[in-house]
Structure 1
């Protein structure tokens, strides 16, 4: 019958491995938190850009509707001479 080492003797061997795994997981969590912060900043920036683009599109839509309702306003702009670079 072979004897097994007591549980207290086996624990020191497993401790470094467990600590290594904990350290690795902590590093992964830190990396993921940094990635989330970076992505959150990008989403915020893109959201602001989208809002500005949406407002510009709405303004152009209103101007187009005004031109459709009053075509003579568009003709007045067409009567202007072309810019010098033409």
Structure 2
């Protein structure tokens, strides 16, 4: 049973417009999320590389001084 009620048709049209808007918004958010995920992966790789370099520097240089073990200068 179909209704030719103009109010019903208007309501259906409004719902279709809302659905189209929601689909566009969902697609845009999905693209942004994919870009953020890619940037996050790149940042994590860079962090791992920096961490490895810091570890290499720490293992390779034993002449790093611990300031907490030094005696203060005589004027203290």
Instruction: Report the TM-score, using the length of structure 2 for normalisation.
Output: 0.75
Instruction: Report the TM-score, using the length of structure 1 for normalisation.
Output: 0.67
Q: Which has the higher contact order (CA 8 A, sep 6+)?
A: 1
1:56 matched residue in structure 2: 46
Structure 1 portions without partners, runs of 5+? 1-10, 73-86
2:33 matched residue in structure 1: 43
Aligned mate of 2:59, from 57, 69, 72:
69
Q: How many residues align?
A: 61
Aligned mate of 2:18, from 28, 40, 43:
28
Aligned structure 1 segments of 4 or more residues deviating by more than 3 angstroms: none
Whichever of the two has the greater Rg, that structure is: 1
Shift of 1:32: 0.3
Task: Kindly indicate which of the two structures has a greater share of residues assigned to helix.
Answer: 1
Q: Distance in 2 between matches of 1:52 and 1:71?
A: 29
